Amino acid sequence: MCSIIGYSGNGEVAPILVDGLQRMEYRGYDSVGIATLNNGKLLIRKGIGKVAEVNASLALKEMPGLLGIGHTRWATHGGVTDLNAHPHSACSANVAVVHNGVIENYHELRDCLLKDGHVFKSQTDSEVIAHLLEHYWALKNDIREAMIHTCNRLLGSFAFVAIFEDSTLCGARYDEPLIIGIKPDGYFISSDVLGFLDYTDRAIFLDNRDIVMLERNNISLINFDGDIVNRTPTQVAWELGCADKGRYTHFTLKEIYEQSQTIFTSIHQTKPNLETFCNILAKAEDVFITGSGTSYHSALLAKHILSRYSKIRVESIMSSEFQYSSELLDKNSVLIAISQSGETADVLQSVKSAKEKGARVLSIVNVSTSSLARLSDCFLEVKCGPEIGVAATKSFTSQLSIIYYIADRVGDNLTGISTERRELSNAIEKTLQLETKIAEIAAHVKDVKDIYILGRSIHFPICLEGALKIKELAYIHAEGMAAGELKHGPLALIDTNSLVIILNPFDSTYVDTLSNANVIKSRGAKLIGISNKQDPIYDYCISIPYVKESLLPLVEVIPLQMLAYHLALYNNADPDYPRNLAKSVTVK
Ligand code: M6R
């Protein structure tokens, strides 16, 4: 979603803000803006485009001042326009605000403010925050009071940073992350540690209803009731800031290749933590598992793996739907929440619903300092390193390998993730070497309008994941389907223009899936087979190496990720920053 940043310290603020925004750009990237305070006057420059583009056209880095705020936007309310870009100032331009989240009662607030004579410049929900702050500041000339009153008027989810003409910088959060970065000579207030990790690894993670006030570089923390709160600084892992593309043209491609390592690093969990996690799981009467997007596909596969290899019955529910099923949970239930970012609003909402029912919450999360990690009774860290590409790739396979590992600990070590490690590692390496062939196939099929991906059993979640990758990276309509369902309706769509990808490894699903492939072929569709057994029925065959049946999903997803990546290139889409999307989806 949006990234927000504020900085108060020694040194010119604008380059610090621009660099921080560039680091966080993967979160949202339709427009950019910064505000600085220079000689008691607020300067604002903002426009649509990515950070580098807006910086080039508006010379953001050259804005003078030692205090400032910045923003990259992912539009929720109001189109992608210069005026809707943040920061937003109030009428008298004595305060400006950057906001991440959604103000649910903004219509009502805006109407009140309009009646009071306020004039709005944008169509965003965020602008009401600037006007409320201006209103309350004018009332008592007290910024602390203005912050408290404003926060108490806002409904929804928000993290915002406000800059005041008198050199005060403030931030507040409710259901959106906000983190303070502490330097010896200054402070950051940011939605993501990546905003300041180049400068400091000391951070304070604010809690819900916290307000931070930086007055001439003195820091104080209060809550929305005005009470003083104390939060302990923690140290953030420096590696998070080390993300660069290396020799790859895109982060997405680099992250696809990193899977030969990351699948295995994720299984090094600290023993007590893993034991706590598995004990809670083994004792649960009911187990639910949730996630969004790719993480939901992990949850779907987890259902198969945990039931097949550790005899745990699991219900998987996508996070955006979870709150409507939460009556099924009670104090004997366990919810496993899976999330790369740990900040996905739908996932956090599921966790809250589960906690309200007294259920215990376990999570599998890549960002160990995230809201999800902190809300969970116990969490396992995915450990695949920062994933910058908006499309989840290495985080998916790392989530899966943790699930296999858990299944082994709770069951009888049957998945093969530990015992077949060498075979799996070789298979992944060999599959990564298929890139040239997959790029050639992508060149042949790049103009198709619809792609269907079919498979059965443990391959079905991979079909869904492959289709998601093709949709978000290449902007081609793609659908994952259980192969046996085709004849119940979707077969009507198949004709000579269709492209169907079949996950057809030589396992217990092989014969039935091959017969589905024959039915499709006889309707004239083009077929791509992904299999460890060649068959002449396929127009293109992507031969994956042999691995134990249970581990096939970890291998077969890689050709689908690569195909999506190369289709994106052929369709002139930027694979790292798909249009309309954001890495961390913090709105419901
Ligand atoms: O950070 P999370 O794992 O909670 O994110 C969930 C989804 O938003 C995410 O997987 C999304 O679907 C990806 N863009 C898919 O590639």
Task: Please report, for the chain, the start and end positions of each structural domain, with discontinuous segments joined by +.
Answer: 3-241, 244-419, 432-573
As beta bridge partners, residue 215 has: 168, 218
Using a 10 angstrom Cβ sphere, with 0-12 exposed, 13-18 middle and 19 or more buried, the burial of residue 432 is: middle
Calculate the alpha carbon distances from 434 to 25, 275, 441, 542 in Å. Answer: 31, 38, 11, 8
Type of residue at 42: L
Q: Which of 538, 532, 474 is nearest to 500 (CA)?
A: 538
Task: Give yes or no for residue 582 CB within 6 A of ligand 1.
Answer: no
Which CATH number is 244-419 given? Answer: 3.40.50.10490
Model pLDDT, residue 108: 97
What average pLDDT does the structure give for the chain? 93
Model pLDDT, residue 29: 74
Contact by Cβ (8 Å): 368, 381: yes
Contact by Cβ (8 Å): 555, 547: yes
As beta bridge partners, residue 5 has: 70, 190
Phi, psi of 402 (to 5 degrees): -65, -40
- Quote the ligand 1 centre to 192 CA distance (angstroms): 17
Q: Which of 231, 243, 298, 303 is nearest to 266 (CA)?
A: 298
Distant-in-sequence, close-in-space partners of 14: CB < 8 Å, separation ≥ 6: 34, 36, 60, 61, 62, 63, 64, 65, 68
Model pLDDT, residue 446: 94
CA atoms of 142 and 170, how far apart (whole Å) = 13
Handedness of CA 481, 482, 485, 487 (dihedral sign): positive
Find the Cα–Cα–Cα–Cα dihedral 266, 271, 274, 279, rounded to 10°.
Answer: 160
- How many CA atoms within 13 Å lie on the side-chain side of 236? 28
With 60 as the cut, is the pLDDT of residue 472 above it? Answer: yes
Task: Give yes or no for residue 349 CB within 6 A of ligand 1.
Answer: no
Task: Give yes or no for residue 146 CB within 6 A of ligand 1.
Answer: no
Number of the ligand 1 atom closest to the C-alpha atom of 391: 16
Q: Which residue has the tokens 């005899």?
A: 311
Cis peptide, bond prior to residue 87, ω within 30 of zero: yes
Type of residue at 7: Y
Do the domains at 244-419 and 432-573 have one common CATH topology?
yes
Model pLDDT, residue 582: 75
Residue with CA at minimum distance from ligand 1 atom 12: 293
Task: Give yes or no for residue 1 CB within 6 A of ligand 1.
Answer: no
- Quote the ligand 1 centre to 12 CA distance (angstroms): 36
- What is the 8-class DSSP label of residue 11? S
Q: How many CB atoms lie within 10 A of CB 218?
A: 10
Model pLDDT, residue 242: 58
Q: Which of 569, 340, 348 is nearest to 470 (CA)?
A: 569
**Cβ-count burial 564-582 (b if 16+ within 10 Å, e if not):** bbbbbbeeebebbbbeebb
Number of the ligand 1 atom closest to the C-alpha atom of 390: 14
The encoded tokens of residue 297 equal 């596909």
User: Could you tell me what percentage of the chain is helix, strand and coil, using 3-state DSSP and rounding each to the nearest 5?
Assistant: 40, 25, 35
Residue with CA at minimum distance from ligand 1 atom 4: 339
Q: How many CB atoms lie within 10 A of CB 226?
A: 13
With 60 as the cut, is the pLDDT of residue 238 above it? Answer: no
The encoded tokens of residue 153 equal 């008027």
With 60 as the cut, is the pLDDT of residue 355 above it? Answer: yes
CA atoms of 572 and 567, how far apart (whole Å) = 9
- Quote the ligand 1 centre to 584 CA distance (angstroms): 7
Q: Which fold has domain 3-241?
A: Glutamine Phosphoribosylpyrophosphate, subunit 1, domain 1 (3.60.20)
Residue with CA at minimum distance from ligand 1 atom 14: 391
pLDDT tens digits, residue range 190-220?
A: 998 889 988 998 999 898 999 999 987 789 9
Contact by Cβ (8 Å): 53, 574: no
Contact by Cβ (8 Å): 171, 161: yes
Task: Give yes or no for residue 295 CB within 6 A of ligand 1.
Answer: yes
- What is the 8-class DSSP label of residue 206? P
Q: Which residue has the tokens 């290495």?
A: 394
Using a 10 angstrom Cβ sphere, with 0-12 exposed, 13-18 middle and 19 or more buried, the burial of residue 246 is: exposed
Task: Give yes or no for residue 339 CB within 6 A of ligand 1.
Answer: yes
Contact by Cβ (8 Å): 96, 88: yes
Handedness of CA 20, 23, 26, 27 (dihedral sign): negative
Contact by Cβ (8 Å): 395, 294: yes
Contact by Cβ (8 Å): 162, 136: no
Task: Give yes or no for residue 30 CB within 6 A of ligand 1.
Answer: no
Residue 240: pLDDT band by 50, 70, 90 thresholds? low
- Quote the ligand 1 centre to 42 CA distance (angstroms): 37
pLDDT tens digits, residue range 242-282?
A: 567 778 989 999 999 999 999 998 777 777 889 999 999 99
CA atoms of 175 and 163, how far apart (whole Å) = 21
Q: Which of 14-28, 70-84, 121-135, 186-200 has the highest mean pLDDT?
A: 121-135
- Quote the ligand 1 centre to 372 CA distance (angstroms): 14
Q: In what order do the strands lie in the sheet with 540-543?
A: 477-482, 450-455, 499-503, 526-531, 540-543
Model pLDDT, residue 243: 66
With 70 as the cut, is the pLDDT of residue 239 above it? Answer: no
Q: Which fold has domain 432-573?
A: Rossmann fold (3.40.50)
N residues, the chain: 588
Q: What is the DSSP string of 474-535?
A: H--EEEEEEGGGGGGTGGGG-STT-EEEEE--SSTTHHHHHHHHHHHHTTT-EEEEEESS--
Contact by Cβ (8 Å): 523, 494: yes
With 80 as the cut, is the pLDDT of residue 144 above it? Answer: yes
Helical packing angle, 394-410 and 293-310, nearest 10°: 20
Q: What is the DSSP string of 40-99?
A: TEEEEEEEES-HHHHHHHH-GGG---SEEEEEEE--SSS-S-TTTSSPEE-TTSSEEEEE
For residue 583, indicate whether it is catalytic: yes
